[in-house]
């Protein structure tokens, strides 16, 4: 049986689903988001199997991007011309895979209809829009930015629930030692923030740089990360973003989601999620998971709440 991380798949079909492959591609990018074409490229680069029958699997992949709520579409900024939008991972899809394994999802990442609600009026969007062009995309995050979001912290992909156990196909294991000390995971929201020109704190941005085993070398530019190897692939639970200090709101509102196991709107800030006021329901944008790029752009922002059905 081929083992991930050893480049042993050669021409065999990798044991990853399209969702996994796409997630890998996105995670591997520095900005934690990629245009469709780059996702294709990534997969073909790393997995020879996908250098053939491109029409077939690319169609499937596109289907997955649209169909699965774990992928969010981020419009290109005016200064980033090109075809299509960027695709990123939903902030809370980190625990979508069992024990961090990308071989199989534990649950479908599904948004409730009522939760496909826009955050048009959310402070976050205002913030995004306000910040939109104030910071250049790709601006290296410096320590100076850390203070911006002091409450961001890391998390484990299992939500810290599993303690020490690491699934054989967990990212850590897949990546092997390369992961140690630098596995940073990718926090989509951080990407979005970064993308939109939002200053991302070092700690956070460091998580936005992750590596995959057989996906090859990643950005050299990311440099060494002072991040513990204990961090799981996705590095940061969105949950912790809003209540890291057991407190209420972060400086920047972020998408929230009730703890799936609880399956209800969090009422205790320190327990399950963020302030519900972040994203007031807006019927006008139901079912749209696009992160708006323009103030009057269509669609919603990052979903406030999610449901693992």
Partner DNA sequence: ATCTGTTTAGCCGCAG
Partner DNA sequence: CTGCGGCTAAACAGAT
Phi, psi dihedral angles at 275 (to 5 degrees) = -65, 125
Whose CA is closest to 164, among 70, 230, 68? 230
Does the footprint of DNA cover residue 284 (CB under 7 A)?
Answer: no
CB of 108 to DNA, least distance (A): 3
Q: Show contacts with DNA in window 11-50 (CB under 7 A).
A: 16-19, 35-37, 40
User: Where does this chain touch DNA (CB under 7 A) — which range of 78-86, 155-163, 242-250, 260-268?
Assistant: 78-86
CB of 265 to DNA, least distance (A): 21
CB of 33 to DNA, least distance (A): 11
Q: How many CA atoms lie within 13 A of 167 on its CB side?
A: 22
Q: Show contacts with DNA in window 88-127 (CB under 7 A).
A: 104-105, 107-108, 110
In SS3 terms, 93-158 reads as HHHCEHHHECCCECCCEECCHHHCCCCCCCHHHHHHHHHCCCCCCCCCCCHHHHHHCCCCCCCCCC
Does the footprint of DNA cover residue 60 (CB under 7 A)?
Answer: yes
Does the footprint of DNA cover residue 54 (CB under 7 A)?
Answer: no
CB 205 within 8 A of CB 189: no
* Size of interface with DNA, in residues (CB under 7 A): 32
Q: Which long-range contacts (CB under 8 A, 24 or more apart) does 264-270 make?
A: 265/305, 269/242, 269/243, 270/243, 270/246
CB of 64 to DNA, least distance (A): 7
Within 10 angstroms of residue 180's Cβ, the number of other Cβ atoms is 11
CB of 62 to DNA, least distance (A): 4
CA–CA dist 168, 155 (Å, integer) = 19
User: Where does this chain touch DNA (CB under 7 A) — which range of 63-71, 188-196, 206-214, 217-225?
Assistant: 63-71
Taking CB under 7 A as the criterion, the residue among 8, 10, 12, 66 binding DNA is: 66
CB of 226 to DNA, least distance (A): 33
Residue ranges in contact with DNA by CB under 7 A = 16-19, 35-37, 40, 56-57, 59-60, 62-67, 73, 82-85, 87, 104-105, 107-108, 110, 287, 290, 309
């Amino acid at each position: 049986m081929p083992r991930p991380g050893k480049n042993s798949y050669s021409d065999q079909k990798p044991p990853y689903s399209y969702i996994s492959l796409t997630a890998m591609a996105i995670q591997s990018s520095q900005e934690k988001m990629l245009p469709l074409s780059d996702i294709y490229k990534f997969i073909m680069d790393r997995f020879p199997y996908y250098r053939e029958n491109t029409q077939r699997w690319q169609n499937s992949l596109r289907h997955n991007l649209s169909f699965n709520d774990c992928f969010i579409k981020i419009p290109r900024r005016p200064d980033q011309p090109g075809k299509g939008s960027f695709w990123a991972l939903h902030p809370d899809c980190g625990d979508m895979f069992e024990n961090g394994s990308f071989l199989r999802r534990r649950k479908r990442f599904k948004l409730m209809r009522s939760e496909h609600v826009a955050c048009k009026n959310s402070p976050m969007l205002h913030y995004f829009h306000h910040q939109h062009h104030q910071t250049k995309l790709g601006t290296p995050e410096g320590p100076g930015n850390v203070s911006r979001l002091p409450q961001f912290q890391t998390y484990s992909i299992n939500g810290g629930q599993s303690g020490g156990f690491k699934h054989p196909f967990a990212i850590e294991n897949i990546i092997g030692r390369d992961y140690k000390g630098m596995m940073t995971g990718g926090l989509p929201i951080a990407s979005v923030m970064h993308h939109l020109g939002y200053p991302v704190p070092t700690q956070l941005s460091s998580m936005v740089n992750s590596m995959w085993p057989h996906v090859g070398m990643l950005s050299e530019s990311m440099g060494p990360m002072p991040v513990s190897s204990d961090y799981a692939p996705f590095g940061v639970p969105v949950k912790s973003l809003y209540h890291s200090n057991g407190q209420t709101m972060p400086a920047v509102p972020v998408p929230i989601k009730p703890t799936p196991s609880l399956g209800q709107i969090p009422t205790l800030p320190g327990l399950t999620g963020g302030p519900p006021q972040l994203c007031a329901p807006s019927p006008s944008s139901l079912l749209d998971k696009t992160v708006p790029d323009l103030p009057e752009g269509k669609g919603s922002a990052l979903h406030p709440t999610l449901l693992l059905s």
